[in-house]
Amino acid sequence: MFSREEASRLKEEFWTAFGKYMSPVPSAEGVKINWVNYHTRLKDVYFRMNTDKRSAMIAISIEHRDLLMQELFYEQFLPFKNILHEIMGEMWIWQLHHETDDGKVISRIYKQIVGVSVFNKEQWPDLISFFKPRIIALDLFWEDAKYAFEELK
């Protein structure tokens, strides 16, 4: 069992290592990008990567406080469902109005794997192999899809 400080340090170490690993990879536009803190340039819509002691998840997270607006954003993604799955090469889970552990209601489109731990450095290659192709594919997806969200800015 790790102390809170040790756990925080290990997570930070993983994300730093992942960021360095990904830094030479250009975006779909061919420019340098911060993959760990990917900016969609759309308020309340984020690409989130998370890992803990049991799993890893990558998501399109819609976090507007107004649930009707959140639903509107979510519905804007629906016409892109088949395109997203095709680009990702897999089916993702679509979830409207999910309550997070801290009580926040979000909507998300995500892929998760279980049985991996950020606290086990031997599994870091598995985590990187999970995150890398998916964040690159999300960037490729967003390069075309973002224009459909211009009116919601």
* Spatial CA neighbour of 68 closest among 28, 99, 111, 97: 97
The predicted-structure confidence for 50-95, as pLDDT tens digits, reads as follows 999 999 999 999 999 999 999 999 999 999 999 999 999 999 999 9
Q: What is the domain extent for residue 22?
A: 4-145
**Residue 152: inside a domain, yes or no?**
no
Decide if pLDDT at 153 tops 90.
Answer: no
**Residue 153: inside a domain, yes or no?**
no
Tell how strand 45-51 and strand 55-62 pair up: antiparallel
Query: Which residues are 97's β-sheet partners?
Result: none
Q: CA separation (Å) from 66 to 24, 99, 106, 134, 141?
A: 38, 14, 10, 28, 26
d(CA 96, CA 93): 10
pTM: 0.93
**Residue 11: inside a domain, yes or no?**
yes
**Residue 50: inside a domain, yes or no?**
yes
What b/e sequence results for 110-128 when a residue is b if at least 16 CB atoms lie within 10 Å of its CB, and e otherwise?
bbebeebbbbeeebbeebb
**Residue 151: inside a domain, yes or no?**
no
Q: What are the DSSP E strand ranges found in the chain?
A: 45-51, 55-62, 93-99, 105-114
Query: What average pLDDT does this structure show over 5-19?
Result: 94
d(CA 48, CA 82): 21
